[in-house]
Amino acid sequence: MSQDLYQTLGVSRDADSDAIKKAYRRLARQLHPDVNPDPTTHDKFKDVTRAYEVLSDPEKRRMYDLGGDPFGGGGGAGGFGQGQGFSFTDIMDAFFGGQGAGGASAAGRGRRARVRRGQDALIRLEIDLADAAFGATHELKVDTAVLCTVCNGDGAAPGSTPIPCETCAGRGEVQQVQRSFLGEVRTTRPCAACRGYGTIIPDPCRECSGDGRVRSRRTLSVKIPGGVDTGTRVQLTEQGEVGSGGGPPGDLYVEIHVADHPIFTRQGNDLICTVTLPMTAAALGTSIDLPTLEADLVNDPAHSDVETVIALEIRPGTQSGTEVVLNGRGVPDLRGTGRGDLIVRMVVETPTRMDDVQEAMMRELAALRDEESPDGQVQAAHKSVFDRLRDAFGPG
Ligand SMILES: [Zn+2]
Ligand SMILES: [Zn+2]
C-alpha cells in the first residue's frame, strides 16, 4: 500500500464511520466516471473506493491500522477495475439509500410522499435605473402551478380515494440484489407501478390529472428595494410553484435587469455622466443645470419633493477629461449604508465649423495670445532642425 488510506479519503485517523461515509460520498460524486469523464480521475476513483472498502469495514480497518494488508494478498484488489462499469446511481443507492429517487425520506427508505414542497420559480423583471436606485413597486404577471381547487390537492376525483399499490404492497419501493466489485449490493428502487408513492389513484381528478395542482397566471405586486442592480434577486416567499399533491409552494425569485439610462451609466453605486462644454464656456467658466437621477421620479407621488437639477459650477480653464465628483449623489446602497457618488466627466468641444467672422475672430485671438497655428509651429520646428544641420555640416 503506497498510499495512506485516510489521506486518500481526506479524513483523520480517528474519523468515525459516518465521517468516512460522508467523505466517500463527496469524493464519489466528484470522481465517478459517470459524472466526471476526465480519464485521470478514473484511477483516483478506484483508489478512493479501495480506501472506502477498507475503512468502512471495522475488521479490515483494524487490520490496516495494525499494519496488515487488508486486501488479502491482492486477490481482493483484482476485482476493482470493474468498478467503472457500475453506475453512479447504483453506488449512491446501494450505500446511501436512494439519493437518485429524489425527495424520499431522510433515510432514503420507504414511500415517497405524494405531498411535496413545490419548486422555486425565477422570473426576470426589467426596470429603469431610477427605480433600481430608489426602489419601486411593480406589478408582475407570473405563471406558476397553484392548488387544484377541485380535489384540494389530493389528486383523486371527488368521491374517490387513493388505494394501496399491489406491486410493492404499499411500500413504494422494490429491492434488487446485484453482485458487484463491492460484493453483494442491495439496490432499492422506487416501485414503477405507483412511482414510489405506495398508493395508486384509480380515478384521478379530471382538473389536474391527479397532480393536485394546475397552472395559473396571476398578477403579483413586487416591492423592489432601492439599490438593486442587474442580477439582484428579490425573494418572494411561497410565491413559487405549488408542490405535487398540493404541497406547500416554493419561493419566487424576481431577477432584476436594469435598463440603460440615456444620461447616467452605473458603476457599482456610482453614477457617471458626461457633460459636453463649448470651448468658450470651458475657457471662461460657467454654471450648468445638471439633471439628477431623481428627476426621473417626479411623476411618482412618493418622491414629489426630490431635487431634479444640480447647479454645477464650471471653473474657468476647465480641461477636457476633468472629473467632478459630487459626493453622495449616486445610487443608495442596497444594505442602506449611504449612497455612491455622481461623477461628472467634462468633454470640451472644439468647433468644427465656423463662419468667416468667427474664424477671423479666432485668428485675432490666436495672434493676441501669441499662439501660432500648429502648421506654423511644425514648420518652425523643421526649420530649426534644418538650420542646426546646416550649421553643423553645411558649407562655411
Ligand atoms: Zn385536482
Ligand atoms: Zn408500488
For the ranges 46-50, 219-223, 325-329, 384-388, the lowest mean pLDDT is seen at 384-388
Instruction: Give me ligand 2 centre to Cα 179, in Å.
Output: 25
Q: State yes or no: pLDDT of 81 exceeds 70.
A: no
Q: Which ligand has the minimum distance to the alpha carbon of residue 166?
A: 2
Confidence class for position 246, pLDDT limits 50, 70, 90: confident
Residue 380 confidence class, pLDDT cut points 50, 70, 90: low
Q: Please report the pLDDT score of residue 86 as a whole number.
A: 47
pLDDT at residue 108 in the model: 47
Percentage of the chain exceeding pLDDT 90: 49
Mean confidence (pLDDT) of the chain: 83
The residues, ordered by sequence, that sit 6+ positions from 202 with a Cβ below 8 Å of its Cβ are 160, 162, 163
pLDDT confidence tier of residue 394, bands split at 50, 70 and 90: low
DSSP E strand stretches across 225-377:
233-236, 252-258, 265-267, 270-278, 286-291, 309-314, 323-326, 342-349
Highest mean pLDDT among 1-10, 142-151, 379-388: 142-151
Q: How confident is the model at residue 274 (pLDDT cuts 50, 70, 90)?
A: very high
Q: Name which of 138, 136, 140 is nearest 296 in CA terms.
A: 136
Residue 204: nearest ligand to its CA?
1
Compute the distance from residue 212 Cα to the ligand 1 centre, in Å: 5
CB neighbour list of residue 7: distance below 8 Å, 6 or more residues apart = none
CA of 166 to the centre of ligand 2 (A): 6
Instruction: Give dist(CA 91, CA 104) in Å, integer.
Output: 17
State the distance from the centre of ligand 2 to the C-alpha of 100, rounded, in angstroms.
17
Q: Which residue has the cell 455622466?
A: 273
Ligand (nearest to CA of 213):
1
Q: Decide if 119 contacts 250 (C-beta within 8 A).
A: yes
d(CA 196, ligand 2 centre) in Å:
6
What nine digits make up the cell of 206? Answer: 379530471
pLDDT score of 373:
57
Rounded to whole angstroms, the Cα distance separating 115 from 146 reads 13
Instruction: Determine the residue type at 347.
Output: V
**pLDDT tens per residue, range 292-347:** 999 888 777 777 777 889 999 999 999 999 999 999 999 999 988 899 999 999 99
What share of the chain in percent tops pLDDT 70? 82
Mean pLDDT of 373-378: 56
pLDDT at 106: 35
Q: Which residues contact 138 (CB under 8 A, 6 or more apart)?
A: 125, 127, 131, 221, 222, 224
**pLDDT band (50, 70, 90) for residue 384:** low
Residues that place a CB less than 5 A from ion ligand 2: 165, 167-168, 191, 193-194
Q: What is the pLDDT of residue 383?
A: 59
Give the pLDDT confidence score for residue 82 in this predicted structure. Answer: 37
Q: Where are the alpha helices (DSSP H) in the chain?
A: 5-9, 17-31, 40-55, 58-65, 88-96, 129-134, 279-284, 356-368, 374-393
3-state secondary structure of 389: helix
pLDDT of residue 79: 36
Q: Give the ligand at the shortest distance from the Cα of 214.
A: 1
Cβ atoms of 382 and 390 within 8 Å: the answer is no
Kindly indicate the confidence band of residue 105, based on its pLDDT and cuts at 50, 70 and 90: very low
From the CA of 202, how far away is ligand 1's center (Å)?
13
Reported as a pLDDT band with limits 50, 70 and 90, residue 70 is: low
Ligand 1 centre to CA of 101 (Å) is: 24
Q: What are phi and psi of 41, to 5 degrees?
A: -85, -15
Is-contact 59 71, C-beta < 8 A? no
More confident residue, 104 or 230: 230
- Amino acid identity of residue 113, one-letter, is A
How confident is the model over 138-197, as pLDDT tens digits? 999 999 999 999 998 989 999 998 899 999 989 999 988 877 777 778 888 889 999 898
Is the pLDDT higher at 56 or at 281? 281
Q: Are 240 and 113 in contact (CB under 8 A)?
A: no
Strand partners, 72: none
